[in-house]
Chain A
Amino acid sequence: MRYEVALAGRALRVDLSSDGRFAVDGQAVAADAREVVRGRQWSVVLDGRSHEVTLVTYEPLRLDVDGVDVEVSVVDERSQSARRDGIRSASGRVEIRAPMPGLLKSVHVAEGDTVERDAPLVTLEAMKMENELRSPVRGRVTKLGYASGTKVEGGAVLAVLVQTSE
């Protein structure tokens, strides 16, 4: 499984294989990660450096790394594709939510616009990475939550669409 991790102004790609080996940014890493306190604290030895990582809160994801406070976002391939499908209700209403807190860099559509599936809706800058959020459906934009240049919380509703028949 591949994960995109953003923390402390960095973007890291973590590949975790089924046998527990992992790679960071495509490079296999020799690391010894021990779960010292179940679900809460890990001792990691990496390239001869020892680090203690504590899970402070899971929602939002905050870690204490050797006494340094770090906010983290993790996106895996599966949830990335799941997110593409948006949150859909029976009425065909689809909410596009911010996957993480960030700056709404630009809004590519206007209320009332009809958009195709996969059309870019907004660009969200989070942890110094730009994420283009695309429409999971063909539909009409009924509401835009924020103007570009706005700082948004994780989970903020950025746009609402009503699905139209394909």
Chain B
Amino acid sequence: MRAADEAYPVGAAPPAESYLNAARILAVATRAKCDAVHPGYGFLSENAAFAQAVVDAGLVFVGPPAAVQRALGEKTTARRIAREAGVPVAEGTEPLADLADARVAARRIGYPVLLKPAGGGGGKGMRLVAREEDLAPAWRMSTGEATAAFGAPALYLERAIERPRHVEMQILADQRGSVVWLGERDCSIQRRHQKLIEETPGPAVDATLRRRLGEAAVRVARAAAYRSAGTVEFLVDASAGFVFLEVNTRLQVEHPVTEMVTGLDLVALQLRIADGEALPFAQADVAPRGAAIECRITAEDARAGFVPTGGVVALVREPAGPGVRVDSALVAGVSVPTEYDPLLAKVIAHGPDRATAIVRLRRALREMRVAGLPTALPFHRHVLAEPDFVAGRYDTGYVAAHWPPRDEPELADTAAASAALVAVLARRERSARAPQAPDDGAWARAAREDALRELPT
């Protein structure tokens, strides 16, 4: 908000009253004399009804048209489009009528199966079901979560691939029928089917697989009459076989890694495409350089199994340096609410090769400070030095296998003594204050006041 030239309130904190309130957002857009709406990568970026409402209000929607979003947003329809375009899909079903239906289908496909909401992606409501007796409780929970997240309870089943890598392909399509692919991102480092680290190029993707994935993504995009930036997601198995997963009809959180290696500004290209311009380059002009890795710094207590945490940011230091990019919403004094996605900042490093990108990212993460609430920073610091990650040996089972760490951190004697001294000083300072003082008292208040002073009045 502080980077904006103009800002208007859209409603109270609960998403349904603000960011999901399309009518309110369009009223604000009209009043502010906007000519286009960019939905970001949050709540409204994959909402066909919103895309249609924007167009109906006489504005340009920066993203694929509502009809495309609707077709690809319904996951079994997207699978059909991919299959008809000659792209392999995992064996699976159409939306299922009920649990009995699911039981029959699961027996036919064979366990383990993935139970997925037909109405939306992003890992919400998705469950791996290993045995038939687990199907009934999974069905109940996924139905509830799908209804809450997408307003649609429909579920379908897919054959589960053992220890896959989650590899996705960035595409761009203009309104004149040109479609290009911009390279893959490996997003296998996930918890609860949600991404924590993304990188390009994928450590397990060679030039042949890259071209096959790129061409498959372009075929899906053409078959769906896709426009704007989008991502086609695949699962890649240990022998470089792949199946289509879904299409994310929006810009993604992890788009900076692709920007770093291609030198392209994806948001600017989205705007130019929305304005009717032709893509200013062809497939042959796309020449990725080096490697880039992104870490998502979330408001989650990584040490306590990634439980979401709220709180007041008491202190922030963001890293900088060659090849380092930080996209951040962190400001000292800001209160982190629990109503929204826990993403606080993205730290991205680019280098001429993967080893350099790792060294730069490791240094950036060690330079970064966030205090006042637990974050995922300790997780990222651990992973960037962990041998399997450094060697590029990982799949979607990585977090379960490598976190929490087994070993205590290594500290020099003077560092340990310094930490012990500070622990004692902090303890003494706290007990000198009122015993019921909140965790972030005076400092946070002062910081908040500082932050407020920076706001334009």
Contacts and interface: CB of A to CB of B under 8 A. Distances in A.
B289 interface: no
Interface in A42-100: 42, 44, 46-47, 49, 51, 53-59, 61-72, 74, 76
A41 B408 contact: no
B417 A24 contact: yes
A72 B416 contact: no
Contacts of B381: 67-69
Given A31-B418, A46-B418, A63 B423 contact: yes
A46 B427 CA distance: 20
Contacts of B372: 56-57
The B contact surface, by secondary structure, is helix
B374 to A, nearest CB: 6
Interface stretch (B44-52, B141-149, B338-346, B362-370): B362-370
Contacts of B374: 56-57, 62
Interface string B275-316: 000000000000000000000000000010000000000110
A129 to B, nearest CB: 13
Nearest to B412: A49
Given A38-B443, A58-B439, A65-B419, A5 B424 contact: yes
A118 B424 CA distance: 28
Interface string B386-428: 0000000000000000000000111110111111111111111
Contacts of B366: 66-68
A16 interface: yes
B371 interface: yes
Contact of A44 (B371, B378, B422, B439): B422
Given A56-B371, A57-B374, A9 B430 contact: no
B96 interface: no
A85 to B, nearest CB: 17
B365 A67 contact: yes
B442 interface: yes
Contact of B419 (A3, A7, A16): A7
B172 interface: no
A90 B427 CA distance: 30
Contact of B423 (A38, A59, A72): A72
B418 A9 contact: no
Interface in A1-28: 1, 3, 5, 7-10, 12, 14, 16, 22, 24
B424 A53 contact: no
From A35, A55, A63, name the one whose CB has the most chain B CB atoms within 10 angstroms. A55
B454 interface: no
B429 interface: yes
Contacts of A63: 419, 422-423
B373 interface: yes
A74 to B, nearest CB: 5
Contacts, number: 144
A39 B426 contact: yes
A42 B365 contact: no
A58 B426 contact: yes
A89 B37 CA distance: 61
Interface residues of A, number: 48
B414 A49 contact: yes
A47 B374 CA distance: 31
A47 B416 contact: no
B377 interface: yes
Contact of A57 (B417, B421, B422, B439): B439
A14 B411 CA distance: 17
A57 B302 CA distance: 13
Contact of B415 (A16, A54, A68, A71): A68
B415 A49 contact: yes
B373 A31 contact: no
B422 A47 contact: no
A117 interface: no
A127 B415 CA distance: 17
B319 to A, nearest CB: 10
A8 B314 CA distance: 24
Contacts of A59: 439
B283 to A, nearest CB: 42
Contacts of B420: 3, 5, 7, 12, 14, 24, 72
A27 B27 CA distance: 69
A40 interface: yes
Given A54-B371, A57-B439, A70-B409, A65 B423 contact: no
A20 B367 CA distance: 30
23 contacts: A1-B428, A3-B424, A7-B420, A7-B423, A14-B421, A31-B417, A31-B421, A39-B426, A40-B371, A40-B443, A41-B369, A41-B371, A49-B414, A54-B369, A56-B371, A58-B426, A61-B427, A62-B374, A63-B422, A65-B419, A66-B366, A68-B410, A69-B381
Given A5-B423, A41-B371, 7 more contacts: A39-B441, A39-B443, A46-B418, A65-B411, A67-B367, A67-B381, A68-B409
